[in-house]
Chains A and B, each alone.
Chain A
Amino acid sequence: MKNKNFLTALLILIVMFAFTASANAGGKVYKLGMSLAITGPTSDAGNPYAKGTEDYFKFVNDTKILGDDTIDCTIRDDQYKTDVTKRNFEEYLDDGIVMYLNYSTGSTLGLKRDFDEEKIATLPASYHAGNLDGSNYIFLPIASYSDQLVILAEYVAKNHKGGKAKVALFVHPSAFGRGPVVDVEKAVAAGLNIELVEVVEHGKDLDNTAMLKRLMSKNVQYVISQTVQSPVATMIKDSQRLGLTASSFGEAGKLTFMGAHYTGGNDLIALAGTAAENFFWTTGFNITSVPGEGTTKQLALAKRYNRDQKAANSHNYAAGIMVAQVATEAIRRTKAAGLEINKANLYNTLNKMNGANAYNPYSTTGPVTYSKTDRMGVDMLQIYSVQNGVFRAVGEPVESEYMKKIK
């Protein structure tokens, strides 16, 4: 009987030891949270963005980039509603996340104070410069919309032939759209050689004939957009119908259309068809129609996790991958430094991501650099233009000159 009891106790001890050992071998789990529009308004961008993030974190765990440690990133749909984003964020805080990935301009501005109170590093999908005002914990993945519009305006100033280029801005009626207008105006005041003729806040118009005719009557030659794809598609289709679209950059007496990150991509070509031809677009992400090492890896990742062609080739899929890459890199570096993975240490690691420590993810057109005074990741943006139905690179990635002057 004694022997039987002894054997039972021994067996229990062995089982307990085995469980403890396997738990240790499993490594640590780092919790992250992401809230974005998988359904509802802007879900055409949010859906592939979520897939990019999800796939990259799966890849990190599957290929043991962090060794035995894994990342558990909960991704929740907020339907582009700040109220729901707030609820998701509260849930993540209760779960003990160490970094947060957000989406829209509205919710980033709405929760900005919460991020600071909780001292949690946040990477939004909104590149609104105003996100950074009065905030220490928001890190923009790429240069702001302001930088993007000023870069396009600089491109116009450099490449326009004959006098001062007349430019109109076509913006979304929200902080997302209006934010960069002030910076473009400041750049013009600082000497950028363009004339800002008009700023148009678009509505939900199905026809832009009157607006386009008005712009033509004011001799506008360039329309730079800061909005989403559908209003741009409507505008450029109307322009094509009216025969107002320039067949090459800056064609006299015609309109050359340009736009920031969320105006372009394959979705614009799908919406506008041939009217998208010669549309100039800037972003900080590599795109699959300009093949390279980064896009090959992006497509391989999409294939590995059975994504359809639409998602695989979306620049928003690349953007989703990029934020996951930055988060993973911050965790990897913090871990390599022998520090505990927590909110404070990840925040400090991100702030040290500059100079020789700049991070080069494969998804972007330049290195990601952050510091206590620089909260914009990728400063070098690439200009693309639609040629024969696909976006092609125009020159090398550039950084805005005038944004440095007006800051």
Chain B
Amino acid sequence: MSANSWLATGNFFTTYKQEQRTFLTSLDRSFFTLFLVLLFGWPLLFELSNKYMLVVDNILIAIVAVMGLNLVTGFAGLISIGHAAFVGIGAYTVASFCQTIGDSHIIVTHFWPVLIIFSGLVGAVFGAIVGLPALRLKHLYLAIATLSFQMIFQWTIQFMTFFNQGQTIYVGRVFWFTGKIGRKDHYLFWYFIILTIVILLGFGIRNLLKTRYGRCLVAVRDNDRAADAMGMNPGLTKVYAFALAGFFAGVAGALHAYVYRGVGFESFTLHESIGYLAMAIVGGLGTLNGSFWGPVAIKFLDLQVETLAETAGQYLPSSMNLATALKPFSFGLVIVLFLMFEPRGIANWWRIVKSYTKLWPFRY
């Protein structure tokens, strides 16, 4: 390790402890702290309309979900194409409480942090159950198993009257120490909450990856037989990877329920699952910061294409309905381009920028 923790231009670890530090230099830590201050501070300085605050909240929720997906698909190498169903499990856990005890019950409105964690745990249980086929299945076969979970989830929600057959189940407005959170502050309030959760879970993943459990994930991904020979338990590792992903998804689902103040089936379809997978790919599979980049990029692209399609819809002939095709076309194109030209995702660009600035003014 460099003697000067502020001006280190390379990583020269002399102990394992040094390698396991969250921030390699004081400069890293300072930048990160400043970044956090900015993240928490900007909404107090610049007032954003509810519309855009909702967009920001939505991105943060997607980040929580994609962090989970990245754990199971990126780090553990297990393809999951039913992630939206896990998010739905979290949302419908909150919805179940609302259906059973009423959406304005104190548990829903006052004890929402407990309910969010509980939704995560329910997601983890379902994740572990769905992860069981991973003991026997691999690759495409496992992907089909997760797809079938998505189908079962959709069918169950759409046909059970308890879940309102997929129609919206309302969630009451929550209370904070200052009282009931009204419409004016709703999205801003949830911004701070979700941001806090993102940071906590982000650190959680970062620390997990330094533990033996985290290293097991990567080892099983790279070669599960070799991992087995090294004394790891690949089966258990796969199941707990799914459980962890389920926890993250469950938390994301509960947050979705609270932010939208309702749970409807259409937010948790196969299309959404593919969307999460796209976010993970575009962001960078197997990287923590890829979980942040992906949702930001895809949601931003969505917004831009929406505007473009809306404008195009007014001018293109309605009989051909070309504007409708713009969104899936651009979405597919972005994924294909990333897979072809930057399979490591935006996270790789970030890595390049970081290594350049770290070594600057030297080239290597």
Contacts and interface: CB of A to CB of B under 8 A. Distances in A.
Interface of A: 38-40, 43-44, 47-48, 51, 76-77, 79, 81-84, 86-88, 90-91, 93-94, 106, 109-110, 112-114, 117-118, 130, 173-175, 178, 308, 310-311
Contacts of B313: 38-39, 43, 47, 77
Contacts of A44: 321
A130 B352 CA distance: 55
Given A39-B323, A47-B318, 14 more contacts: A38-B323, A39-B313, A39-B324, A39-B327, A47-B313, A77-B309, A77-B310, A77-B313, A82-B264, A106-B167, A110-B262, A114-B261, A308-B319, A310-B319
B167 A43 contact: no
Contacts, number: 96
Most chain B CB within 10 A, of A47, A48, A90, is at A90
Contact of B264 (A84, A90, A110, A118): A110
Contacts of A76: 310
B260 A83 contact: yes
A311 B318 contact: yes
Most chain B CB within 10 A, of A110, A113, A130, is at A110
A84 B323 CA distance: 17
A175 B264 CA distance: 12
Interface stretch (B34-42, B51-59, B214-222): B51-59
Interface in B28-66: 49-51, 54-55, 58
A175 B158 CA distance: 9
- The A interface is mostly helix, strand or loop, or mixed, namely helix
A94 B50 contact: yes
29 contacts: A38-B310, A39-B323, A44-B321, A47-B313, A47-B321, A76-B310, A77-B309, A77-B310, A77-B313, A81-B266, A82-B168, A82-B266, A86-B54, A90-B50, A91-B49, A91-B50, A91-B51, A93-B183, A110-B167, A110-B168, A110-B262, A110-B264, A113-B170, A113-B262, A130-B167, A174-B166, A175-B166, A308-B317, A308-B319
B327 to A, nearest CB: 7
A5 to B, nearest CB: 41
Interface string B282-326: 000000000000000000000000100110011001110101101
B267 A82 contact: yes
A175 B266 CA distance: 12
A84 B55 CA distance: 10
Contact of A79 (B55, B306, B314): B306
A90 B309 CA distance: 20
A81 B267 CA distance: 8
Nearest to B166: A174
Contacts of A310: 318-319
A109 B324 contact: no
A88 B260 CA distance: 13
Given A94-B49, A113-B170, A173-B158, A39 B321 contact: yes
B359 to A, nearest CB: 43
Contacts of B314: 38
B99 interface: no
Interface string B326-364: 110000000000000000000000000000000000000
Nearest to A38: B313
Contacts of A94: 49-51
A84 B306 CA distance: 10
Contacts of A106: 167-168, 264, 266
Contacts of B187: 90
B167 A48 contact: no
B165 interface: yes
Nearest 7 pairs of A and B residues by beta carbon? A91-B51, A110-B168, A90-B50, A39-B324, A77-B310, A175-B167, A38-B313
B266 A109 contact: no
A114 B172 CA distance: 11
A38 B54 CA distance: 22
Contacts of B327: 39-40, 79
B337 to A, nearest CB: 22
A28 B170 CA distance: 37
Contacts of B168: 82, 106, 109-110, 112
A90 B165 contact: no
Contacts of A43: 313, 321, 323-324
Contacts of A118: 183
A344 to B, nearest CB: 17
